């Protein structure tokens, strides 16, 4: 199954109050394996960048001033997303900004039924634990030492690793059928997990024959001072083969 892991950076917290999306990073996964296909873009928000937001992601007015408007890249983004499920951390936040940007340029919003929220997955597995991306990466031993500031593509890469852990870990060899074929194709044929076509063989008889049972009794009877008979005869109990 194809899935898209994505993250956004914004000018603030509320798209209904004029905040805008300034960066999006998307990573393609097939059968829970990253294929290497990505979509990454910065956007000119057509407004100033609050200092508090810039402190989080480091994207300044100067840096964003020559970047494309969202409307110019919307078609390319939607082509990459396709109809796949979209995975994000605190996904309602990212969906809110993405759909507001789509609405601004006259495009249909993305169906919320495609949303997969890794915070919801993490809460189910670790109730009461810290749910930040940093905290969950630490829990699962995901290296984030190169993350000095938030960045949409970098955070999507970390989230992809976290998503794998939250949905069963890296045991990709346990998949079957078409999903396995999709994984191998996505990985460039480097994973040998495809089912092997073997001829059917009827199960062999596995019950001991009467002759085998008789030989076994003779062998056991020849063992002197067998541990399983200790104490039995002294207590007047039958031994194992009496």
Report the chain's terminal Cα–Cα distance, integer Å. Answer: 62
User: Which residue in 89, 150, 206, 216 is the catalytic one?
Assistant: 150
The torsion angles phi and psi of 36, rounded to 5 degrees, stand at 100, -10
Active site residue 150: yes
Q: Which two tokens stand for residue 104?
A: 């601004």
CA geometry: angle at 165 spanning 160 and 167, to 5°? 95
| Distance of alpha carbon 49 from alpha carbon 166, whole angstroms | 34
- Reference 142, options 122, 117, 115; nearest CA is 122
Q: Which of 167, 116, 165 is nearest to 138 (CA)?
A: 165
How far is residue 67's CA from residue 45's CA, in Å, rounded to a whole number? 9
Report the alpha-carbon distance of residue 7 to residue 26 in Å, rounded: 7
Q: What amino acid positions are annotated as catalytic residues? A: 150
């Amino acid at each position: 199954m194809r899935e898209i892991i994505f993250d956004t950076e914004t000018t603030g917290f509320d798209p209904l109050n004029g905040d805008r999306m300034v960066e999006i990073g998307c990573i393609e996964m097939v059968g829970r394996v990253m294929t290497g296909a990505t979509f990454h873009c910065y956007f000119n928000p057509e407004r100033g960048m609050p200092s508090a937001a810039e402190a989080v992601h480091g994207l300044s007015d100067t840096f964003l001033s020559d970047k494309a408007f969202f409307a110019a890249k919307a078609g390319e983004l939607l082509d990459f997303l396709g109809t796949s499920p979209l995975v994000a951390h605190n996904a309602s936040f990212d969906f809110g900004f993405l759909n507001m940007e789509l609405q601004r340029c006259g495009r249909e919003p993305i169906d919320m039924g495609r949303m997969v929220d890794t915070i919801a997955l993490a809460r189910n597995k670790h109730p009461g634990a810290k749910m930040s991306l940093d905290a969950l990466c630490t829990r699962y031993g995901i290296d984030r030492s190169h993350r000095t500031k938030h960045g949409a593509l970098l955070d999507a890469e970390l989230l992809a690793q976290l998503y794998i852990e939250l949905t069963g870990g890296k045991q990709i060899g346990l998949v079957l059928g078409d999903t396995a074929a999709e994984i191998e194709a996505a990985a460039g044929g480097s994973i040998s997990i495809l089912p092997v076509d073997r001829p059917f063989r009827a199960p062999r008889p596995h019950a001991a024959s009467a002759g085998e049972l008789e030989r076994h009794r003779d062998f056991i009877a020849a063992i002197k001072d067998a541990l399983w008979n200790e104490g039995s005869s002294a207590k007047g109990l039958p031994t194992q083969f009496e």
